[in-house]
Amino acid sequence: MAGHLDVIVIGGGIAGVAAALESAAAGAVTAVVRAGPGATALASGAWHGPLPSLLGEALAAAGLPHLPVDTLLPHPFGDLRPADNAPATHAAARIDEAACVCGIAGLPHFPAAALARMWRAPRHVTLALPETPAAGWSPVALAAALERDPAGLIAALRQLGAGTRAILPAVLGLDPLARTAERVAAAAGVDVAEALGVPPSVPGWRLDRTLVRVLERSGVTLLEGRVVDRAVQDDVVLSVRVAVRGEPVLRELAAAAFVLATGRFVGGGIAAADGGEEVDVARGQALREASLVERALGCDVWIEHLGDRFREVQPVPLTDPVRAEPQALLRAGVHVDAAGRPRDVQDQVRYRNVTARGAVVAATSHGLGRAAAGAAGGAA
Amino acid sequence: MKRRLLAWLNLAYHFWKHVLTRWWLRPFRRGRDLRRFRAQVEPEGYLPLPFADRAQFPDFMRCIHCGLCALACPALRAAPVTAWVEAWTFVAGPSRSLDRVALVARAAAPCARCAVCPAICPTGVPIDRLAVMIEGLAAGARAG
Ligand SMILES: Cc1cc2nc3c(=O)[nH]c(=O)nc-3n(C[C@H](O)[C@H](O)[C@H](O)COP(=O)(O)OP(=O)(O)OC[C@H]3O[C@@H](n4cnc5c(N)ncnc54)[C@H](O)[C@@H]3O)c2cc1C
Ligand code: SF4
Ligand code: SF4
């Protein structure tokens, strides 16, 4: 990557891609540094929170249009869940008189009869595909197989009769550009919809792949690597050092502004400090006592725990044994001001040219839409 | 009270029986005890692990069952009809059990020249090292 960069976005989940799109649309030369998939790739297909229009259009153009959801969506745990938006195949999964829950022989964790009872669907059937592996299907293997050749599934669905809406597990292809669900529906003569997914989540994978495409199409440079260090002068980040995948030496990337979108625990933005190993290089200070650290830029981590608001001198218990409310640990992250800039223990802005976004921000509530919304929206 | 007394007497009897009849024989028995132990536990599916293998388990235990390794796995996608054990199921699952080790090792065979999933794992589980260990266990099981 040669030349000058205006903005470096650290993290390529939904929050990082949304930020990069906005930055590129505003004319800034933008790069995303991303270590790999994060929590975004585990999502079920239900989109909680608002869908920013720029992102919605970009997702649609890259092959994964999202639609507003006006019904409850069936989840393979047996419940029906609200969602604000969803990819078309999930948004269509309305449970009514036309719905027929379709299990697939050999695919575990999608028992059609039990799910139909719990979702209150009138019909269910378990479809047998021509070649079922002796040890059963992995959802990944099945999604790849159906993307290659859906003929067996089409033949089985034809038996259901016109006017049926087949509610299938989320295995209709790994790549949304293959349009597997559309092909199946057209050839089988029935409506086809997918239930939500659980990890290994095919819907989450589709979203993550599509986000990479969105970046490619929007002129944003994508660098696969992990920010491991940074150079700071006063309260400004000058550059970050990146361990690029497959390269033995670190690359140093400078920019005028940085977006911290590294996610929480799954993304790796917030992590437990490994005793004395974590050293805040910029401040030359060992983080031995800190119980949680923000890895990329060394921002202070806010832990809402029994009245504590920031990292403690003594290790604090990170979970509350009384589980009446969601664990405070799941709201840990960096604390931001109204402009989204991380604040430190003294409540001062830590870096003037950094904004944090998405799940790395403390107290953000769960959801793709809330992570994708701007800094202020994310800090709710 | 009486039962407790009997229990203590029973324990004392077996302790001294062991000391008098077995313990001093140990130098002469050379591995027979280990063979007897293995004969007891191996049909149950448990393999004694060498220390170096055991030391790796904390790394394997970082798995959060996110399934990203399975989603990224080229072998799993290419598997149209064959069964394929997803990497995370052998990370998380009882891969130490003898009865599963052979199955899992067969599934882990494509991992020998592949580094896709260790690179994608968000918690850095060294899945490739686990595959090597499982192959070793399976070879040991065949030999033993
Ligand atoms: C299991 C699970 C299921 C969920 N299901 C749903 C759902 O169905 N619907 C919904 O709306 N929400 C769901 N959520 C919540 C939603 O997924 C998250 O709120 C959202 O994805 C957070 O996005 P993010 O971009 O902030 O973080 P992430 O998606 O975690 O992205 C973080 C990114 O930062 C990168 N990164 C981290 N550290 C570095 C570094 N040092 N250098 C470079 N890159 C780095 C990571 O590789 C990753 O690309 C779910 C969450 C989980 C955990
Ligand atoms: S990618 Fe890593 S953490 Fe996720 S299931 Fe696989 S081994 Fe476990
Ligand atoms: S190392 Fe093995 S399990 Fe992992 S991606 Fe490669 S073939 Fe699949």
Of the partner residues B65, B80, B83, the one whose CB lies closest to the CB of residue A135:
B83
Task: Decide: A166 and A190 in contact? Cβ < 8 Å.
Answer: yes
Closest CA to B84 of A200, A177, A198, A173: A200
| Cβ contact A200–B81 (<8 Å) | no
Percent of chain A past pLDDT 90, that is, above it, reads 76
pLDDT tens for residues A322-356?
Answer: 777 777 778 889 999 999 999 988 889 999 999 99
CA nearest to A41, candidates A138, A140, A112? A140
Residues paired with residue A302 on neighbouring β-strands, in sequence order: A333
Nearest to B67 among A38, A144, A200 (CB): A200
Task: Give the phi and the psi of residue A378 in degrees, each rounded to 5.
Answer: -70, -20
**pLDDT of res. B98:** 65
Chain B residues in contact with A266 by the CB 8 A cut-off are: 64, 66, 122
Between the CA of residue A150 and those of A117, A130, A187, A190, what are the distances in Å?
Answer: 27, 11, 10, 14
| pLDDT value at A130 more than 80 | yes
Give B91's pLDDT tier (boundaries 50, 70, 90): low
Give backbone dihedrals phi and psi of A140, rounded to 5 degrees, phi first: -70, -45
Nearest to A211 by CA among A365, A75, A23, A37: A37
CA-nearest of A212, A196, A259 to A28 is A259
Ligand 2 pocket, B73 CB below 6 A?
Answer: no
The whole-angstrom separation of Cα A305 and Cα A290 is: 14
Q: CB–CB of B71 and A41 under 8 A?
A: yes
Which residues in chain A have their CB less than 8 angstroms from residue B71's CB?
Answer: 41, 140, 174, 200-202, 204-205
- B90 falls in which pLDDT band (50, 70, 90)? low
Q: Which ligand is nearest to the CA of A140?
A: 3
Answer for the pair A266, A246: CB distance below 8 angstroms, yes or no: no
Interchain CB distance below 8 Å, B120 and A135: no
Cβ contacts of A140 on chain B, cutoff 8 Å: 70-71, 73, 76-77, 86
Residues of A within 8 A of B80 (CB-CB) are: 131, 141, 145, 148
Is the shortest distance between the CB of B75 and ligand 3 below 6 Å?
A: yes
Residue spans of the domains in chain A: they are: 7-43+206-372, 71-198
CB A342 within 8 A of CB A333: no
CA B53 to centroid of chain Cα atoms: 9
Q: Over 80: is that where the pLDDT of A289 sits?
A: no
The distance of A141 to chain B (nearest Cα, Å) reads 5
Is the CB of A136 less than 8 angstroms away from the CB of B73? no
pLDDT in tens, A149-179: 999 999 999 999 999 999 999 999 999 999 9
Query: Residue A373's closest CA among A362, A363, A359?
Result: A359
Distance from the alpha carbon of residue B87 to the mean position of ligand 3, in angstroms: 7
Q: Is residue B105's pLDDT more than 80?
A: no
Q: What's the pTM value of the predicted model, to 2 decimals?
A: 0.89
Asked if omega into A317 is within 30° of 0 (cis), the reply is no
| Exposure on the CB side of residue A229, measured as CA atoms within 13 A | 14
Lowest mean pLDDT among A143-157, A256-270, A292-306: A292-306
* Residue-level pLDDT at A280: 47
Is the CATH number of domain A7-43+206-372 3.50.50.60? yes
Q: Span A357-362, mean pLDDT?
A: 94
